Amino acid sequence: MNERRQKSYSIRVDAAELARSRQHPTHQANGDEERYAGARYFMSFTKGLIHNPTTGLLQDPKDFVAFRRAIDDGFIDPFTDRVRHGAKYKVVNGNIVEEENPNFLDGFRQWEAPTAGVVFELEGPDAQAVTMPPAPPLLDSSGNTNLELIFEMAEVYELAILRDCPFNDFEKGAKNENLKASIARLNKLGYLQNQNGRPRKVNQKRNRPRQKGKLDVQTVFRGSSPGVEVGPYLSQFLLIGNKAVNGEDGVTTGKIAYGVLEINQKVPIATPGTDYMTDFAKYVEVQRGIAQARESYVPGRRFISTPRDLATYVHYDALYEAYLNACLILLGMGTPFDPGFDHLSGGGVAATDPKTRRHANGFALYGGPHILTLVTEVATRALKAVRFQKFNNHIRLRPEALAARVELVRRKNSGEIEENLIPKALSQYFQGFLDKLESNGNGDLATSTLGNISAIAEGSYLLPMAFPEGSPMHPAYGAGHATVAGACVTILKAFFDTSAVLVKDSSNEYRFKRMEEGDKLVAFRANDDGSALVESPIDNISEALTLEGELNKLAANISIGRNMGGVHYFTDYYDSVRMGEEIAIGILEEQALTYPTDPFVFSVPTFDGDIVRIGRR
The catalytic residue positions are 474, 481
**464 in Cβ contact with 387 (< 8 Å):** no
DSSP 315-373: HH--SSHHHHHHHHHHHHTTPPBPTTTHHHHSSSGGGGSTTT--SS--TTTTSHHHHHH
CB neighbours (10 Å) of residue 250?
A: 21
Residue 533: C-alpha distances to residues 272, 393, 523, 524 (Å): 21, 44, 10, 6
Q: Which amino acid is at 79?
A: F
Give strand pairing partners of 337: 496
Q: Report which of 472, 390, 492 is spatially closest to residue 127, judged by C-alpha positions.
A: 390
For residue 206, the number of C-alpha atoms closer than 13 Å in the C-beta half-sphere is 10
Residue closest to 532 by CA, chosen among 302, 300, 237, 244: 302
- Beta strands of 400-439 (E only): which ranges? none
**Spatial distance between the Cα atoms of 159 and 453, rounded to a whole number of angstroms:** 10
**In sequence order, what DSSP letters do the residues of 101-134 get, joined into one string?**
-HHHHHSBPPP--TTGGG---SSS--TTS---PP
Answer whether 547's CB lies under 8 Å from 231's CB. no
User: How far is 578 from 597, CA to CA, in rounded Å?
Assistant: 31
